[in-house]
Structure 1
């Protein structure tokens, strides 16, 4: 009997498709830390955490690292060599940056109708909160120039300039389904695109990412500096399977937020009308620094070729989160990365990475 023909991945009528994170990568992009005010009083260990992240990723795929200047490059190489990172899979390139959160300042990569990769370069305004972002606005153009990939810059439908968006606020299953939060895009705090409605965003997602169904969750987690990024609370791990951060303690501020999202997802279906299985992840204990609650969440993991790196917080729930993800993604290694210091910068592993998917029609061409 002939083997069944494998179904082609979803593509919107325009041919664009935003691949799921678990699909094959050509590379992961990160940016080496240099902006000490992001980790006030605790910057010292951060480069070593980055070296461990690079080591775990380089076992499985190429890691492209932006370095702010020559001094940062020297420091990066020192840490990478000390951690015995596979240097053949590490590529450092000088590109001045304001901060290191490439999930938000780097492009979102999509497949076109031919299976080639394009870079969707959102405008970036430092989460409508900070003033220093001029260098980060140029990261998309730098990456496009380095890779030779086509770059698109989505414009507002009303002619009022480019669309402001961040990769940490959007999540896909690679089949036309997207997760976002109302807190991020539809409230009057840290407004990215004044005047934009729910319908405007859904039209934008369809035209630029090939999304045919947007699922709107409510709020993100407590302490989130971005005001509602979805990558701290809900992530797809396979077609039809999602993990959702849920706080069981009714006295914790995350409880009501996460319970609302659990209820919103009851009976949820994807873009193809299939039911979505929702698996809950616990939160770690509240991580407090200098009196401030930090956005510590296991949902901020990153899926690479053959490995998933997961933030851990010296908490008993670390084991539960790692085991849950291992059961859901059995073909990948699950590697915990200590993130108690890292989260003082108000982000962890997914926030600092951005995947560049491989082209679908052939082996991906090496990055220049």
Structure 2
């Protein structure tokens, strides 16, 4: 964690960004829309008819839930436009483009705003298949950040940092959560130091306090994992409040991981110099599947306008943990979507979505 003093206050109590003047707003700010990508090929779609049907049904279920709260733009390989239209609510807008995969959080841009909130930026990270993993292809996905940013009317901010949207979470005040095994991954950014990464995050998203977690969940280091994305293990629900994946069963390897991460977070300070309240969100009680210990997590939710789209698992813990989310996001309606087919493929609801924040009007309110 950097020991930088907070920057001067910006409008509405925000901490002003440094360097370039861009600041990544919190997910809880108003959105203009959510961006997604349609599964069209590879392991994400699946090899059998049942796997294909499950992928399409689950991506559509998430989009159809989100569009009940805000507009959804779905990037779709042109040949798949008819099948996507069959599955999706009529209000979901289809945007044709070539794709390799369907994890919009990671291939899309991270949206930022100018200090006064009136200009939209889109950080176009380098995407290289989660650290050049052997099964991944990214010829088309590497272009999606700039493509989506352009369609959104944003100023595209290029970056040489290999990063994915699932690798960061922010509070909108300059605090960012990230993991050593993602941004410092030799397959992503060989030779970079913490300071190098922090400098680039300051330039691109206005980060003034970087809180480095040592790792992510155990399953995330398997073949189709991301090597430690933070958005499956911890998120900032509001300034000063972190939600943490809490594996309560000592027989699961993530029990020790959760405890270690709690220690780091309780010792950390945000961009204002304040400590966090760390709220544990109990993990599903299901501990394993045919491939080993699961990383099912309620942390991998999407906050939308007036709502939260949350992962469910057909698990006896679902109701209680979604109640924790409802308490963390007062005034928002929590809608659950069965995310097991997503986790079977290496991610969750947050991983397949990317919010575009609304800009602020002349009076300083989101417009």
Length-normalised TM-score, structure 2: 0.89
| Whole-angstrom CA distance in 1 between matches of 2:96 and 2:62 | 19
Measure how far apart 1:245 and its partner are. 0.5
Give distance in 2, aligned partners of 1:209 and 1:276. 21
How big is the shift at 1:293?
4.0
Aligned to 1:223: 219
Name 1:24's counterpart in structure 2: 30
Q: Does the alignment pair 1:209 with 2:205?
A: yes
- Check if 1:65 corresponds to 2:74: yes
Q: Does 1:101 align with 2:103?
A: yes
Equivalent position of 1:159 in the other structure = none
Q: How does 1:117-266 map to 2 (within 5 A)?
A: 117-128=120-131, 129-130=133-134, 131-154=136-159, 162-186=160-184, 188=186, 191-224=187-220, 225-266=225-266
Cα distance in structure 2, aligned partners of 1:94 and 1:176: 35
Cα distance, 1:40 vs. partner? 4.6
Structure 1 residue 286, shift from structure 2 partner: 4.5
Where structure 2 has 5 or more consecutive residues not aligned to the other structure, the ranges are 1-9
Preserved CA contact (<8 Å) 1:53 1:337: yes
Q: What SS class does the counterpart of residue 343 from structure 2 fall into? A: helix
Identify the match of residue 57 of structure 2 among 43, 48, 52.
Answer: 48
Cα displacement (A) at 1:285: 3.4
Over the aligned positions, Cα root-mean-square deviation in angstroms equals 1.9
Give, in whole Å, the separation in 1 of the partners of 2:218 and 2:11.
42
Deviations 1:26-80 (A, max 9, x none): 110001111242245422122122222122111111100000123x111111112
* Structure 1 unaligned blocks of 5 or more: 155-161
Contact 2:171 2:239 in 1 (8 A): yes
Return the offset for 1:114. 3.8
Q: Secondary structure at the match of 2:311?
A: strand
Q: Secondary structure at the match of 1:351?
A: helix
